[in-house]
Chain A
Amino acid sequence: MRYTVQKHSYREPYSTRHSAQASKHPHPSPMSSPAAFCAAEPTAGLASSANSPGLSASALHAQLWRASHLGSNPRPCVSSGFAALDAELPGGGWPTHGLSEILQNTAAHLEWRLLSPALQALLSEPAQQRPLLLINPPLMPNLPGLQASGLPPRLLVWIQASSPQQQLWATEQAIKANAAAAVLAWLPQARPEQIRRLQSHAQACSTPVFLLRPVGVQTQPSAAPLRLTLRAGRDWCLHLHILKRRGPCHEGELALLALPAGLQQVLTPRMLSQPWPLRPEISTTPSRPHHALARPAPAAALGIA
């Protein structure tokens, strides 16, 4: 049996967390042979914990997975509310103790459709009324619409930061404080090393942290253990592709039926069943009018020529 242990070559900004770093290999995950084992913890953590007799075998096995199988997440996960998506995510839901990066087209705004079931469950815990932090949202959150999605307005805090440094600082403080129900941060300009820094803080954070970024950054490496792209389909489905996860490469796209909140009452079954567009494309060149009286008279008939 052969174990491949990934070498972490990055420079860690914090020296205190050497044993708690998750694997931060550049995307995509190197899944060379299906027989290989991958380690969720880098060299230092694995080597020291394997040598120490205090670590049980089950704890070690929770950090290992076969490259052809989906990894299990020893940390608690938050169900996404979509059974098809839960089946594809390691641990069966949105991870805690790590970043989840969601990439989407800058013109599209699909985040609430994807996240509202999970956020609704997080915010409805009666014991701890912890707010949801929205850091640097691209537009003004509309409370009536969000309330229809199940997010109560008194638990939403909108944090607007002007410069990218302040956005990152606010996100980092929110992650470090570990006091919110969840953190949603729109960081279009964050660089890979800044994401890595956030990820190293997020390992101590017991709530989900979602980074929403433009789809153009999918070619950049990222330290987030979960990355996915999101696009709207012609039907009312969200088309989701997992770029990176602790498990095998994700083939194809998941189609999740997610209607925007409140639209069930206005959409007819025909609108729901038929893909867009309902009617043929409007031609951009003006068509000739068919009515005889509306047709311009030929030049010959007017006796000009």
Chain B
Amino acid sequence: MHWLALLLPPPSASPEPSAQLALAWWALQFTPRVACLEEAVVLEVQSSLRLFGGAPALHRSLQPRAEQAGIALHAAAWAPSSLGALALARSRPGLDEALQWPAEQAFAEQLDALPLATLSACLPHLPMLARLGLRRLGELRRLPRPALARRFGQGLLLALDRAYGELAEAHAWVEIPEQFQARLELPQRSDNAMALQHHAQHLLLQLCAWLAARHAGVLGLTLRWEHDAMRAREIASHGELRLQTAEISRDYRHLSRLLNEHLLRLQLPAPVGEISLHAEAILPLRELSAKLLAPGASEGGEPQESITQLLERLALRLGAEQLRCGQLREDHRPEQMQQWQAWPGPSCQAQARLAACPQPSWLLPEPLRLEVQRDQPLYQGPLQLLAGPQRVEGGWWQAAGQPAQRDYFLALSETAGALWIFHERLPAGRLDEQGWFLHGFFA
């Protein structure tokens, strides 16, 4: 038996009663045998040690996985019995040294050295035990058993035997609900969206733990809130916020950042009394293998977040239209050769043939009319025509706009470098639209 006991920070730091349940759900990703024991969560991982690459690897992965799920682990310890693991975890807060098992020391010797208060069954009798001169579990265990049972009852002996692994333990295993439902009544009414953020993050934590237990991720979330009765008549009784992600995720940090961005721009019409979180499109999450080689000094830092997550956040803050990805199109007019659309674009991109003639690397959104002097175009000084003309005629099949009839020239300017200018060829009646235009820069 390989029991792990996980402890959350003391209740003063995290007042949420649901935190223990979230931790238990999160721990279900390691093993189905998870139980809530007093203030801790204990899990029996003997049968899944091989899956996680052995006990040391599993112990090492606890902290990073908990961080990713947004769970602050206060202490963790392992022992052959759940009560023993809990006692060890209580005595040694912290994650690093508590999981290091000193090989030369037997489990019973370790437990003997612990103070009495680490075993909850001792707590009611602590003053009496102290008057007897007992401070450690080992001293209590050395007392004659019949006398101990008469003096303090069977419960203490049973707990002591279970902690030392001499008696079997029985647990009520935590089961994962089929549907995720989490609601929270706010301690005080609030009409500030940022005040919702703190509470919504607790729900999000539960959701991520639930998803971890199901090995799944979400594509969307809905945060719903109920307004209280003290609202204006025309305001609806509830509202909701929908949140979409580009890829399946259960990364707590990413989801909470997205939620924050949404809440930043939310205006609540009335005070909110209750919030609830619903997951949409729960899909299995395929986890990628970790890298074989650790990132060396030459490789530099690992990405802090994936590029998709970064662009999602940027699109949320700047506006969806401000992030663009482009696609080549087969056309002869330079302004039609490419199409920029909101990120993310279509997943499969059509292959387009390259234009035969050189193309500029910058394009003006609208062609700029150039001054003309003695039939020579000017742009920050006289222009020298180097190559051309390249005649482009097209667009007659499109109803909107007028067909383009242009002669493109490569021109050289002393200050601006190589330019892509064209001369509009139109029927003689439309003189105002004729002339030289600057359309792009060869940079």
Per-position binary interface string of chain A over residues 164-179, scored 1 when its CB falls under 8 Å from any chain B CB and 0 otherwise: 0010011001101111
Shortest CB-to-CB span from A37 to chain B, Å, is: 24
Partner of B361, one of A141, A159, A204, A205: A141
> Is B107's beta carbon under 8 Å from chain A?
no
Partner of B417, one of A109, A144, A174: A109
Contact A143 B318 (CB under 8 A): no
Shortest CB-to-CB span from A60 to chain B, Å, is: 15
**Residues in chain B near residue A141, CB distance under 8 A:** 326, 361-363
Partner of A157, one of B306, B317, B324, B382: B324
The A-B contact count (CB < 8 A) is: 194
Per-position binary interface string of chain B over residues 103-129, scored 1 when its CB falls under 8 Å from any chain A CB and 0 otherwise: 000000000000000000000000000
**Residues in chain B near residue A278, CB distance under 8 A:** 384
Partner of A156, one of B300, B325, B441: B325
Contact B358 A261 (CB under 8 A): yes
> Is B387's beta carbon under 8 Å from chain A?
yes
**Residues in chain A near residue B380, CB distance under 8 A:** 107
**Residues in chain A near residue B417, CB distance under 8 A:** 108-110, 232, 260
A105 to B326, CA, bound (A): 27
Shortest CB-to-CB span from B284 to chain A, Å, is: 24
Residue among A107, A157, A271, A282 facing the most chain B CB atoms (10 A cut-off): A157
Within 8 A of A (CB), among B222-248: none
A186 to B329, CA, bound (A): 27
| Dominant secondary structure of chain B at its interface with chain A | mixed
Contact B376 A282 (CB under 8 A): yes
Partner of A206, one of B299, B337, B365, B440: B299
**Residues in chain B near residue A147, CB distance under 8 A:** 328, 354
Per-position binary interface string of chain B over residues 399-422, scored 1 when its CB falls under 8 Å from any chain A CB and 0 otherwise: 000000000001010111110000
**Residues in chain A near residue B387, CB distance under 8 A:** 266-267
B residues touching A (Cβ–Cβ < 8 Å)? Answer: 298-307, 309-311, 313-314, 317-318, 322-328, 334, 337-338, 340, 343, 349, 354-355, 357-365, 373-374, 376, 380, 382, 384, 386-387, 410, 412, 414-418, 440-443
What would be 20 A-B contacts, judged by CB atoms less than 8 Å apart?
A: A75-B300, A140-B340, A141-B361, A144-B337, A145-B359, A148-B354, A149-B361, A154-B327, A157-B323, A158-B323, A158-B324, A160-B323, A161-B318, A232-B415, A260-B442, A265-B358, A266-B386, A282-B373, A282-B376, A282-B382
